[in-house]
Amino acid sequence: MNIFNYTTPIGKLAITDNGKAVVGVGFDKKFPFMVLGCPDRGGVCEKAYEQLMEYFAGTRKEFDLPLVPAGTPFQKRVWDALLKIPYGKTVSYSDIALAIGNPKAVRAVGMACNRNPIAIIVPCHRVVGKSGKLVGYAGGLEIKQRLLELERN
């Protein structure tokens, strides 16, 4: 495992890879242990950082990275559904529950989003409450709002 720390327009992010794929992108608020990572950069983490910076600059709408998030089969189904949300669009937690074929699992979808280990790249920030209201985000609602505004512009 490699853990590298980067400064981005939304604050510090820790990117973790297993040598072949991204396994984590975390905010230092949620994953403070990652801030102690190795200072050298390279490989998959560097590619992820470059693509994230292109995203923040508004020049990248889709990520092209190998991803291997660790989670339960249910969580992985939710995260796969999140990857299908188009750039600049939002959906509700109930929309995701329907997309995975389990319409009663709205709360479980919310928990899976909360446990998403690959922030931004697996776009849980695009999931909002049924009324359209911003609810819950590992990086905080302010960052969720900034990411959605970035994608709308």
d(C-alpha 3, C-alpha 81), whole Å: 26
CA angle 113, 92, 69 (to 5 degrees): 25
| Active-site residue, selected from the candidate residues 38, 45, 113, 124 | 124
* Residue where the block lists tokens 């609810």: 135
Structure tokens at 147: 């990411």
Does the active-site annotation cover 113?
no
Show the DSSP H helices in 5-128 as ranges.
Answer: 43-56, 73-82, 93-99, 106-114
Please state, as a whole number, how many other Cβ atoms lie within 10 Å of the Cβ of residue 81: 21
Tell me the two tokens of residue 95: 């929309």
Residue whose token pair is 């990117």: 15
- Which active-site residues does the annotation give? 124
